[in-house]
Chains A and B, each alone.
Chain A
């Protein structure tokens, strides 16, 4: 069966520091991969999605970037965090069009 791993679970970082969140999927090949952000008590904001290695689509221009160095690995990065980057970051995957989206357990990021 397929599983998705996301780490770390929680992170506290100072303003201006770099960020790297990692997500891996097991048990499937060539998944579509996604990064979402959820502010406290708010909805799901799509940040990036990828349909293949090295293919990244950005939904919201900001100081974040994403990379997909391997088929089942998706990384969210920032060179300098802002206070507004605080939130709950969720990695997700789906196998094909019109199939369910499966979320990782999320990373709660607090920028201080």
Chain B
């Protein structure tokens, strides 16, 4: 089955700096890659997603890049703010599994004022 590795597990940045979280996946048939943000005690919420026919997608300060050849995708947050502090999860949707998303183990991002 699909295996998603996420790095780093914790990331601390100064306000205004950029943050990058990287994920690799094992199933070359995976074709959908969402990113979720989970604030403490709350549900994970989708912040951005990308499909395998696209190499990059951007939404204001957030961008995701996908390298299908290397089987990795990354989340980029620019001009970080304290409210960006949360746990971020990547996921991959293997075409073969039909219905499941496989999640990475999460990255705890702390933005220091």
Contacts and interface: CB of A to CB of B under 8 A. Distances in A.
Contacts of A101: 34, 46, 91, 101
B54 to A, nearest CB: 12
DSSP majority for the A interface? loop
Given A43-B89, A103-B44, A97 B99 contact: yes
B49 to A, nearest CB: 6
Interface in B25-39: 31-32, 34
Interface stretch (B15-23, B57-65, B68-76, B103-111): B103-111
Contact of B51 (A43, A51, A98, A102): A98
Interface residues of B, number: 23
A90 B34 contact: no
Given A98-B93, A100-B34, A43 B100 contact: no
B111 to A, nearest CB: 19
A100 B36 CA distance: 10
B46 A46 contact: no
A97 B98 contact: yes
A32 B45 contact: no
A102 B101 CA distance: 12
A32 B44 contact: no
19 contacts: A32-B99, A43-B89, A43-B105, A43-B106, A44-B44, A44-B103, A49-B100, A90-B44, A97-B95, A97-B98, A98-B32, A99-B32, A100-B49, A101-B46, A101-B91, A101-B101, A105-B42, A105-B43, A106-B42
Interface of A: 32, 42-44, 46, 49, 51, 57, 90, 97-106, 108
Interface of B: 31-32, 34, 41-46, 49, 51, 89, 91, 93, 95, 98-101, 103-106
